[in-house]
Each structure stands twice: as C-alpha cells, then as structure tokens.
Copies of this chain bind each other. A is one copy, B any other.
Amino acid sequence: MHLLGGVEAGGTKFVCAVGTGPDDIRAEIRFNTTTPEENLAQVIRFFQEHHAQTPLAAVGVAAFGPLDPDPSSPTFGYITTTPKPGWAHTDVVGPLREALGVPVGFDSDVNGAALGEHRWGAAQGLDTFVYITVGTGLGGGGMVNGKLMHGLMHPEMGHMQIPHDWDADPYPGFCTYHGDCWEGLACGPAIQDRWQFPAEELPPGHPSWHLEAHYLALGLVNIICLLSPQRIIMGGGVMQQRHLFPKIHEKVRTLLNNYIQKPAITEHIEEYIVPPALGGRAGVLGALALAEAARAGAPSGHQQSAEKS
C-alpha cells in the first residue's frame, strides 16, 4: 500500500492525516481555519515531517468551495469565488505540489467524502449516489455513472430553491445570496438564528426538528427526482441528531406520494437515506481517497471510476 496524505480543508477547521485507509491512520493533526498563508504552511510542515521518514505517494485535498476541480483549467486547484474572507482565488494545489513534489488530488469536501464512502463506507459498489452534509453550510456531492460529479463546475446543492412554509416559519433564511434557499432554511446557523439557540442545545422534542426534517426532505425529494440516486448519505454536525433520520424517511415518502415505486424507497427507505459509515471521518478519509485517485492519475477524481477498487 502507498502511504498517502489527506487534507480536509473546512470552513472552520483543517484536518490532515497520513495513512492508507480507515484502519491505518499513522498521524493526524487539526487546526483552525485562519489565512491561506498560515494554513498552507501548517499543512506543508506536517506532511514534510512524514515525507522525510516515509515518502508520501500523493496528497489529496477535500476543500470548502466554490473551487475549481477541472484539471484542464488554468485555475485548477484553486478555491475560487468563496465569500469566506481572505480565501477567494486561493491556489491550494500549487504550493502543496511545489513543496512536496507529489501528485495532489483536489475536489470539494462533499465529493471527497462521497469518494471515501464509496471506497470504504456506505456507498461501496454503487455507481450513482449522493453525499449531503448539513453543518455550517449545506452541501452535496456524489457520483453519477461511477464518477464524481463535476460538469460546468461542481454541484452547489445547498442553493437550490425549495418551498418555504411562510405560515409555519416566518424566518427569512440565512443565505447571503438567496435568503431562503435550501441551505438558507436548513443549515446549522439557520437553526440557531431562527430559534435563538444553538442546534446542539435544542432537545429532540423541540418543534425545530419537525421543520428541519421537512426542509431536508424537500431537498432530498428534489435530489431523488433529478438524479435518481441509489442511496443518499447524510452527514455533518446537524445530522448527529439521529432522531432526524426517521422523521426524514417519513416525510420523503409522504412527499413522493408513491410516485416512484421502487422498493428501495417504498419499502426500505431506512437503508436508502443513511448516515455516513465513516462518521465524522468521512471528510479526511475522502481526502485520502482523492490522494489515491491522484496517484493513479486522476487529479480531481475526474477519471475515478466505480470499477476501480
């Protein structure tokens, strides 16, 4: 097995790991997201120490976005138009490749997590599935036809438009661009802003959770209608409220109203919409999987196919 480096570059924290997979993580480090200069220096220092002992075959970065995952683009490897202060138009891959001299894979945090779940988790053997995170933001990625989702850019699932129940919920939404898009209605900070309590402090019986399940289910219905995934994996801080899953299952079935008569949905929905098998480690393990793809010649998982083991 090749020794790989993985970087989960999140909006609030970075996690870096060296290893070959879930059962073989040799070292791990975490630090807060500050400035590109400081964070990239920290990443490079961590990997250089290990590289000096056992050379790394490749490094993978799963980052917040929007970003450019297209290897044929001049800004491949950049975090592009992010609203996060200080991070717009940041070259992430360039400095790492220069300092470490190894191939560097690069994709969105959610595509990375999807690749990790495909390789070692809840999406093994599938060729069309979606990974959603509900945390500080709300985002989604996944595979279609055995390859990670790209296209013009990469999915920005959190910004789709869903029906806003203004009578039950006068809260205008948290998204600076769209107000009440999916993310604006259902991300963690929206819960906190609406109820004036951090989501993690709201008890399971609180009415917030029915509303949250309702909004999450609406977005999932759209994903099901647009993509026909074989499974949907839901991670991120908010989904640690495990009681959300049965609520979501029921609401998705009610909303679809038996239109899509596939047993996966009509009979076994609890195996269709599931938590990540890799839990909170999906992100950094996904970055390792991106590293493995880059080592094999696919810098952004563009060539990463489902057939590949």
**Chain A residues at the B interface, C-beta cutoff of 8 Å:** 66, 80-81, 128, 140, 144-147, 149-164, 177-178, 218, 221-230, 255-262, 264-265
A155 near B81 with CB under 8 A, answer no
Copies of this chain, count? 2
Interfacial chain B residues near A178, Cβ < 8 Å: 255, 257, 259
User: Known interface pairs A66-B260, A228-B152, A257-B178. Does A162 touch B159 (Cβ–Cβ under 8 Å)?
Assistant: no
Q: A152-B260, A159-B221 are in contact. List 19 more A-B contacts (CB 8 A).
A: A128-B152, A140-B226, A144-B144, A144-B149, A149-B228, A151-B228, A151-B229, A152-B228, A152-B264, A153-B260, A153-B262, A156-B224, A156-B259, A156-B260, A161-B221, A162-B162, A178-B255, A178-B259, A222-B226
Query: Which residue from chain B places its CB closest to the CB of A223 in the assembled complex?
Result: B226
Cα separation A115 to B55 with both chains bound (whole Å): 46
A183 to chain B, nearest CB (A): 10
User: Known interface pairs A128-B150, A145-B144. Does A161 touch B222 (Cβ–Cβ under 8 Å)?
Assistant: yes
Interfacial chain B residues near A145, Cβ < 8 Å: 144-147, 149-150
